[in-house]
């Protein structure tokens, strides 16, 4: 699997973040809080849309 191509595809297909999430992202970047890469975020959003889980357990994601 070509990770670079996969990552580029995910980047091209993901939707723009809602304004409030962009604010959270910018605040985290301004304060040196590590956040996930946009491609990982896109993959997680895709998987949640596909699986439509009723519950999600978030552990250690800094800003969540």
pTM for the model: 0.59
3-state secondary structure (DSSP) of residue 36: coil
SS3 content of the chain, % helix, strand, coil (to 5): 60, 0, 40
63 contacts: CB under 8 Å, gap ≥ 6:
24, 25, 27, 28, 33, 35
6-58 pLDDT tens trace: 777 777 777 777 889 889 889 999 999 988 887 788 888 888 888 999 998 88
- Residue holding tokens 């409030």? 20
Instruction: Report pLDDT for 56.
Output: 87
Q: Is the pLDDT of residue 61 over 70?
A: no
- The CA distance from 3 to 43, in Å, is 13
45-57 pLDDT tens trace: 888 888 999 998 8
């Amino acid at each position: 699997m070509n990770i670079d191509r996969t990552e580029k595809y995910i980047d091209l297909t993901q939707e723009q973040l809602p304004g409030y999430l962009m604010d959270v992202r910018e605040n985290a970047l301004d304060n040196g809080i590590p956040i996930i890469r946009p491609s990982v975020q896109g993959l997680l959003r895709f998987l949640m849309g596909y699986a439509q889980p009723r519950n999600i357990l978030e552990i250690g994601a800094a800003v969540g």
